[in-house]
């Protein structure tokens, strides 16, 4: 099988994430995508993160009733900084005979060589890059540079839905509508749990 890891803080998960996963599955003929909310992100300020249990539950609600998408709490259970190389090592043990991919946004892709044990990551999975704001040429150049050190990477053919979790948190805090940005069940969950200043 062709299995992709899609990790992130998902703070909160939004419809852009949902559309992205659908597009990646179609373009790269994936059999399964594993959504992996982080417990703690090493390269980000975690101070505005909702608790990992809340972020996991919002992911579960966003992707429920989809046969080829699984939401995993592997990194949450492991606690501490969520290092991708450890997660991929675990997935290789679970899926020893399958082809692993990793879905990465362009901003994180441009720092991939600085992640913890990047060589382990390159040996474990091919990288699918999701373009957003950068010139495609910049991504292609970085892709070629990483290939020289063992990274097998592919760039999606089109950009993704322009929405960010930061924008959504700001709109929620200001009591502005997010109806077109979040799944209805996620909006209900956020309000019931009083997340993001609601």
The 3-state secondary structure of 8-65, one letter per residue: ECCCCCCHHHHHHHHHHHHHHCCCEEEEEECCCCCCCCCCCCCCHHHHHHHHHHHCCC
- pLDDT reported for residue 129: 95
In a domain, 194, yes or no: no
- pLDDT reported for residue 46: 64
In a domain, 127, yes or no: yes
What is the CA angle 40-44-48, rounded to 5?
75
In a domain, 133, yes or no: yes
In a domain, 87, yes or no: yes
The number of folded domains in the chain is: 1
In a domain, 171, yes or no: no
Domain CATH code at residue 31 = 3.40.50.620
In a domain, 195, yes or no: no
In a domain, 172, yes or no: no
Q: How does pLDDT run along the chain (198 residues), one tens digit per residue?
A: 999 999 999 999 999 999 999 999 999 999 999 999 999 877 666 667 899 999 999 999 999 988 899 999 999 999 988 899 999 999 999 999 999 999 999 989 999 999 999 999 999 999 999 987 656 678 889 999 999 999 999 999 877 777 889 999 999 999 999 999 999 999 999 999 999 988
The sign of the CA dihedral 183, 189, 191, 196 is negative
In a domain, 96, yes or no: yes
Domain encompassing residue 48: 2-162
Q: What is the pTM of this model?
A: 0.93
Token pair belonging to 164: 């960010």
Q: Which of 94, 7, 22, 100 is nearest to 59 (CA)?
A: 7
């Amino acid at each position: 099988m062709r299995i992709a890891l899609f990790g992130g803080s998902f703070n909160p998960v939004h419809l852009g994430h949902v559309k992205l996963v659908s597009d990646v599955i179609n373009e790269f003929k994936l059999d399964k995508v594993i959504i992996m909310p982080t417990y703690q992100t090493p390269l980000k300020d975690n101070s505005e993160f909702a608790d990992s249990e809340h972020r996991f539950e919002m992911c579960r609600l966003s992707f429920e009733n989809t046969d080829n998408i699984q939401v995993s709490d592997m990194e949450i259970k492991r606690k501490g900084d969520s290092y991708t190389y450890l997660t991929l090592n675990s997935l290789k043990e679970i899926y020893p005979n399958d082809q692993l991919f990793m879905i990465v946004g362009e901003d994180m892709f441009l720092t991939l060589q600085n992640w913890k044990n990047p060589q382990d990551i390159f040996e474990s999975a091919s990288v699918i890059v999701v373009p957003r704001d950068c010139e495609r040429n910049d991504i292609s150049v970085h892709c070629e540079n990483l290939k020289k050190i063992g990274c097998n990477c592919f760039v999606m053919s089109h950009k993704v839905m322009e929405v960010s979790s930061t924008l959504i948190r700001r709109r929620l805090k200001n009591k502005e509508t997010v109806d077109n940005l979040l799944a209805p069940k996620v909006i209900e969950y956020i309000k019931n749990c009083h997340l993001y200043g609601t």
